[in-house]
Chain A
Amino acid sequence: MIDKKHIGYNFPPVTIPVEEGRLKFLAKSLGETKGIYTDPDTAKAAGLPGLLAPPTFPFMLEIDALDLVDFMSVLGETLEKLLHGEENFNYYAPIYAGDSITVRKKITDIIDKKGGALQFVISDNTFTNQDGIIVAETRTNYVFRHQ
């Protein structure tokens, strides 16, 4: 069982450069072909400063900022038990290649379900760009299967 002492824990902020090659690779893996996600010249012609990061990209920053293996060791858990329960995004401004995003992650709740057979670890994450603008917030529900 995951100790509820972790509720309220703030991980140290991590700042991550948004790389053009990463966004191209992500688009390829998703089968995304729209030029603003795949081709820097198309993005610039559309008036954007660089490739546009897709809507799910904040989650990638979240796991870049804290590797799942390291997250498990903080919780005293193993990856074998982990499932993804929910991923919720609020968007305030775009993320582009060339940005530098600071990720702040906090454990906001740990909830027992089914008499402890399942536990939900809820984390809230804030993403701030190089200009100090909060570009997105996410709430993640990590599900642990104890049986």
Chain B
Amino acid sequence: MTLPKFDSLNVGDEIPALTTPLVSRHILALYCGASGDHNPIHVDLDFAKSSGLDDVIAHGMLSAGYLAQMLTNWIPQSALRSFNNRFTAMTQIGDTVTCSGKIVEKFEKDGEKFVRLELYTNTPQAQTIVAEAEVVLT
């Protein structure tokens, strides 16, 4: 993809959103193995119940991975300088995760042009990540 031009972007612009498939036990099993996050709370119902939950929950980093995918659908990864995720609610089995983001600031630093984005993941029940990213443009 090509890098958007700094001058063509405005505060308030939204970047193309991403909606993911339903979070299934199968996806969580794959992500457990692939990510190396083997915490059983994501794949073992008995363990989840012993932790006080009704069911397993998705990895927060799975949703962060979806957010990152939305970003790299929009810009080359080399333009991404920071990506800060705060996990604000749990994602349940059967949820869809909707990723969205908008430009909240344009600035120049050390001779480079940046946009700052606010990013969110939402499930039908809750906002699950509030994130921020800095992207360098020309």
User: B138: CB under 8 A from chain A?
Assistant: no
Q: Is the Cβ of A59 less than 8 Å from the Cβ of B61?
A: yes
**Chain B's nearest CB lies how many Å from the CB of A10?**
21
A66-80 near B? 1/0 per residue, CB < 8 Å: 011100000000011
Residues 25-78 of A contacting B (Cβ, < 8 Å): 25-26, 28-32, 34, 52, 54-56, 59-60, 63-64, 67-69
Nearest-neighbour CB distance to chain B for A67, whole angstroms, equals 7
Contact residue among A52, A82, A87 (Cβ-Cβ distance under 8 Å from B77): A52
Looking at A30, A59, A60, A94, which has the most chain B CB atoms within 10 Å of its CB?
A: A30
- The residue that A29 contacts in the complex, of B31, B41, B50, with Cβ under 8 A, is B31
Residues of A within 8 A of B20 (CB): 31
CB distance from B12 to the nearest CB of A (A): 24
Residue on A nearest B62 in the bound complex, by CB:
A30
Chain A residue with Cβ nearest B82? A90
Count, A-B residue pairs, CB within 8 A: 104
With A87-B64, A91-B83 in contact, is A29–B34 under 8 Å at CB?
yes
Tier of interface size on chain A: 20 to 34
CB of A4 closer than 8 Å to a CB of B? no
Chain A CB within 8 A of B124 CB? no
Q: Is the interface of A mostly helix, strand, loop or mixed?
A: mixed
A28-B85 in contact (CB<8A): no
Residue of chain A at shortest CB distance from B76: A36
B80 & A91 in contact (Cβ 8 Å cutoff)? yes
Which residues on A sit within 8 Å (CB–CB) of B69? 30-32, 54
How far, in Å, is B3 (CB) from chain A's closest CB?
14
Judge if B51 is at the interface, Cβ distance under 8 Å.
yes
In the bound assembly, the distance between CA atoms of A63 and B61 in angstroms comes to 12
A25 to B65, CA, bound (A): 13
Interface residue? B5 (CB, 8 A): no
Q: A60-B35, A68-B38, A87-B61 are in contact. Are A55 and B84 (CB under 8 A)?
A: no
Q: Can you name the residue of chain B whose Cβ is closest to the Cβ of A86? A: B86
B51 touches A80 (CB 8 A): yes
B9: Cβ under 8 A from any A Cβ: no
**Given known contacts A26-B34, A68-B37, A86 and B84 CB-to-CB distance under 8 angstroms:** yes
A-B contact pairs, 21 of them (CB 8 A): A28-B30, A29-B30, A29-B62, A30-B31, A54-B72, A54-B77, A55-B80, A60-B36, A63-B35, A63-B36, A63-B37, A79-B40, A82-B39, A87-B61, A87-B64, A87-B87, A88-B85, A90-B82, A91-B80, A91-B82, A94-B77
Ranked 4 nearest A-B pairs via Cβ:
A29-B30, A55-B68, A29-B34, A88-B84
